[in-house]
Amino acid sequence: MISSIEGIIGTRTESSVIVEVGGFGIQVFVPERVLSAIGSPGERVRLLTWLYVREDILSLFGFPEESDRKLFLLLIGVTGIGPKLALGMLSACDSNEIASYIHAGDTTSLVRLPGIGKKTAERLIVELKDKVDVIASGPSMAKGYGGIEIGMFKEAAAALVSIGLTAASAQRALENIDVKRLGEAATVEDLVRNALRKVSS
């Protein structure tokens, strides 16, 4: 089993990225919502992966966070949901949102996801409600990379990109911030300032 992949980003499509490793270009299918965040061509990337094996095909799926991979594996264990449908769901919403819908029995929100009808939504709730507790109620529910609240992380990352950093560099800098040291009163400006120090150090 290929559990992770690290290499240089090559070309990208709407749903996948080519990761160049040891002279090979490996296609990894990634949720569309994270494609721009993992970096630009020529930058290094590391993804957690899962290999889908069929008689006629091998497909590698990649995720920047363990919560995404965990939910992906739970989703494809549900009757009627294959890897492509699960990836489509994670392209529309992050794992915490989907897990919270399932945990709350929110069929209305689930049917808004691509390819999910009412019956499938109900099946997801019945089969996974007790299994998504860790994803839906864990620290990652309100936290993004490095323990930063998701909204603040996105805002700080956007600010860093606007002043010239690549998306991947902004992400790495934010991940390296000691959030506990900043305290709960930390603002987006504090995050940006500390991230820039990480970049320059």
Tokens of 30: 């990634």
Burial class (CB in 10 A: 0-12, 13-18, 19+), 84: middle
**Domain 145-200: which topology?**
Helicase, Ruva Protein; domain 3 (1.10.8)
Give me the pLDDT at residue 167, please.
67
Tokens of 169: 């560099």
CA distance 120 to 78: 9
CATH class for domain 66-140? mainly alpha
What pLDDT digit, counting tens, does each position of 77-126 carry?
999 999 999 999 999 888 888 988 898 889 998 999 999 999 999 999 99
Domain boundaries, the chain: 4-63, 66-140, 145-200
Buried b (16+ CB within 10 A) or exposed e, 100-126: bbbbeeebebbbebeebeeebbebbbe
| pLDDT confidence tier of residue 151, bands split at 50, 70 and 90 | low
Give me the pLDDT at residue 56, please.
81
CA distance 26 to 88: 20
| pLDDT at residue 127 tops 90 | yes
What pLDDT digit, counting tens, does each position of 32-70 carry?
888 877 888 899 999 999 999 887 888 999 998 888 999
| pLDDT confidence tier of residue 141, bands split at 50, 70 and 90 | very low
What pLDDT digit, counting tens, does each position of 10-30 carry?
998 888 999 999 899 999 999
CA distance 118 to 108: 8
| pLDDT confidence tier of residue 173, bands split at 50, 70 and 90 | confident
Instruction: Classify domain 4-63 at the CATH superfamily level.
Output: Nucleic acid-binding proteins (2.40.50.140)
Q: Count Cβ atoms below 10 Å from residue 192 Cβ, excluding itself.
A: 23
